Structure 1
């Protein structure tokens, strides 16, 4: 196998925070590597180091081939004539660059990067804003890519279909796993089970040593008391017991206790793995819905400006269902959710319906109020449940006391997701909740949605996410709302 890139003794910091510390890491030609990790762990920084857009603080990057690079944000192509015509056609690109949606902008940038072949390709979150058709086309385009592919993604379909190795970035280091994302999950699960078993063995050995130490200490005290009694009675020891009379037994017991204590000090606890807590949402009589279909529509038509989005549609959304709304970019999924929330004469809505809505933050949270205190003001749930929701979304016990105004973008997004679940409501509305969150948060969100007792309406282009949580799937297509599951 020929080397494509080698990293050696890499150190990279931003301010006082060390982001990456990599003793050695290699990429070989024709590797297809998927990079995963929580937000803020250094995935994009690693790609920039590989490309050469960022020089490391220390260490060396040896490049044997050239790479094309797709960053998360970049200008649109200047000359549409430079794009591959066949690829542009398959991506259904318009012949102009004005008024483009986020998905169309992503497609133009991908068309530009894929129109010129290079031996290496670096992609940073290439599926962001892409609809399902766009993701499918990207997968097909890259499946047969003959070259070295390294991509950052939280899209499990992309990771499963393209990656032959997974790099997990965490705590400044990179751990390499063979296979795709499912293979990585199996290896992680085996590691977690091994750690759990090691943890049980550690606790048993610790308890055994502590019990033995205590026993030897008690024996030493008793031996000392017995020796003191003999001295008090002026009992003359015979030759056979004279050595014991000199506290040999006591010293031996104390020595044994010290040896056991030393072994206890050297006993290493296995690294603890943070596990998700089982969430049980309490029921509320005030919010309980009895209507079998709390949301329904008859001959429902939706128009935005001059564009007809839905025409004379009938639907019934069932109590407790987890309903996914899917469709290409621009078909009206967000507009439909907004119409449901706002209400309409052609809609039938149970009078007890209370919505809790997730939308991407358009502002930065302000104030010194602690994160947990902020959430507790918005909920009737007990603090224990709120803490469990925050824990499952990746907040440690220390982080839940962070002031709002120091939260990172990823932390603010996770807080907003928690906020949706703790508000008093019986229908949740989540518009593209998987955008801009990492894989561990996506999987935690799946667990929360499954555990939530009320109805959930959501949009997402993440097929794996939809398959994991949806009990019903509706597709918006050709001005119709079609139940496909």
Structure 2
């Protein structure tokens, strides 16, 4: 029999008048591997805090049978912890430098915090976005480490590769409710697609049956109207005694037809209405004639050498990035990916740009909104696209129509990130530079970003540790390795 580690019963968490979570029942057993997904702001982190005991429900009961370690999404590494207290093998395999915390990069701080959490064992482990800033090697090591974790594992992650290799259940948090799906993220995604197809079929069946009944009712109504006209004509004529019974018979038929019409109308009212699946509006980002580039390679590098302090990142690297292609720059943490993107943007020595290049750029967390204008007004300042296109872009990237009147200085971090991405595609450009655009955004926004990039007509150069994202959109993959930039994939 499975050992129960956690149970939530009739739990409700509210803030002011808003219900954040409403959970009738959730159970977690000893060897469960659970991935939590959902759009930003739906309550994923609140659910983790509830499980860990950091917050208490307004009503209901959280029964924690075991203790949980908690890896938080945004937190500084604990500088007071002595490396002697940590698992030395873990530190080595995570490639954590034994420097002061202040000198560590984002990826190195993430690896140190992971080592700090994993060095202390509990029967339960909660992790909120543990792959942020990690390169592919570190993600693979973390997967191997967690695959053999004895106990309950509960993960929030936007990394579909990470979820696919670890979890056996998905909890989808949406509008305060939690729905459980068996399998990993790909299984969940397939189940969602099948459910969407089933809903669409049910909607079409509903429309077909409704139209059939409406036509039947119209036909019967027409019969009733004809009978009524005949009855009126007969009333104007004297009715002989031998025709009286026939007239009464026809009146009975008329009443029966009227009764049938009412019965059909009642059946129409009793049909269970099935609403259609909400379809994303198709978006196209055409380049204006002024932005058209005719160079076969709008971005090139000749004998590029880059350094960070005393460390050589690139040594006499050469590259040609083709027109209209989506180009991924990969490599481990610290190899110089972001440095190369910035060098291209700065048109550094050895960089050869087409004279017509107009850059659009995204740097993670690169926003400061102090404007007291609405979301829709803010974007209209940056683009010549129509308001309907702006609304379509915002809808596809997760904004509801009721959100568009929000003041941009008041929106959340997740909303601000999505707004920056929306602005990026609506501004005039022909070369996009994207530095880790998938960090800190939910899976739904990542999938929307994939579609945006596919529809963009210019050239895209990006870095990302999200393998599924890279596999879906990249035409070319270049890797920085041993101070060289090498083309390793060309679609």
Output the TM-score relative to the length of structure 1: 0.94
Q: C-alpha separation between the residues in 2 aligned to 1:233 and 1:367?
A: 81
Match of 2:158 in 1: 154
Instruction: Encode CA deviations 1:329-349: one digit per residue, 9 max, x unaligned.
Output: 232222211111121231110
CA spacing shift, 1:254–1:363, aligned 2, 3 Å: same
Q: C-alpha separation between the residues in 2 aligned to 1:387 and 1:484?
A: 38
Match of 2:125 in 1: 121
Q: C-alpha separation between the residues in 2 aligned to 1:3 and 1:439?
A: 30
Match of 1:266 in 2: 270
Instruction: Tell me by how many angstroms 1:280 deviates.
Output: 3.0
Gaps of 5+ in 2: none
Instruction: Tell me by how many angstroms 1:305 deviates.
Output: 4.6
Match of 2:355 in 1: 351
Please give the residue correspondences for 1:166-315 in structure 2 after superposition, counting only pairs within 5 Å.
166-236=170-240, 238-244=243-249, 247-315=251-319
Match of 2:71 in 1: 70
Match of 1:47 in 2: 48
Match of 2:143 in 1: 139
Contact 2:312 2:483 in 1 (8 A): yes
Match of 2:15 in 1: 14
CA spacing shift, 1:76–1:369, aligned 2, 3 Å: closer
Q: C-alpha separation between the residues in 1 aligned to 2:69 and 2:470?
A: 32
Instruction: Tell me by how many angstroms 1:162 deviates.
Output: 0.3
Instruction: Tell me by how many angstroms 1:67 deviates.
Output: 1.4
Partner SS, residue 192 of structure 1: helix
Instruction: Encode CA deviations 1:111-148: one digit per residue, 9 max, x unaligned.
Output: 01111222111111111122222211111110111211
Aligned residue pair count = 484
Q: C-alpha separation between the residues in 2 aligned to 1:262 and 1:54?
A: 50
Partner SS, residue 121 of structure 1: strand
Q: C-alpha separation between the residues in 2 aligned to 1:361 and 1:67?
A: 30
Partner SS, residue 369 of structure 2: coil
Question: Which segment is superposed worse, 398-407 or 437-446?
Answer: 398-407
Instruction: Tell me by how many angstroms 1:28 deviates.
Output: 1.1
Q: C-alpha separation between the residues in 2 aligned to 1:373 and 1:75?
A: 36
Match of 1:58 in 2: 59
Match of 1:38 in 2: 39
Instruction: Encode CA deviations 1:353-399: one digit per residue, 9 max, x unaligned.
Output: 11111123444434453423432332233444333322221223333
Partner SS, residue 444 of structure 1: helix
Question: Residue 452 of structure 2 is aligned with which of 448, 451, 460?
Answer: 448
Q: C-alpha separation between the residues in 1 aligned to 2:442 and 2:191?
A: 19
Q: C-alpha separation between the residues in 1 aligned to 2:120 and 2:131?
A: 19
Partner SS, residue 162 of structure 1: coil
Q: C-alpha separation between the residues in 2 aligned to 1:258 and 1:408?
A: 53
Question: Which segment is superposed worse, 380-389 or 16-25?
Answer: 380-389
Output the TM-score relative to the length of structure 2: 0.93
Question: Which segment is superposed worse, 470-479 or 446-455?
Answer: 470-479
Gaps of 5+ in 1: none
Q: C-alpha separation between the residues in 1 aligned to 2:309 and 2:160?
A: 36
Q: C-alpha separation between the residues in 2 aligned to 1:368 and 1:219?
A: 63
Match of 1:330 in 2: 334
Question: Which segment is superposed worse, 399-408 or 115-124?
Answer: 399-408
Q: C-alpha separation between the residues in 2 aligned to 1:374 and 1:98?
A: 37
Partner SS, residue 342 of structure 2: helix
Match of 2:81 in 1: 79
Q: C-alpha separation between the residues in 2 aligned to 1:233 and 1:378?
A: 78
Superposed CA RMSD in Å reads: 2.0
Instruction: Encode CA deviations 1:419-439: one digit per residue, 9 max, x unaligned.
Output: 111111111111111011111
Note if 1:91 corresponds to 2:94.
yes
Q: C-alpha separation between the residues in 2 aligned to 1:178 and 1:197?
A: 23
Q: C-alpha separation between the residues in 2 aligned to 1:233 and 1:369?
A: 76
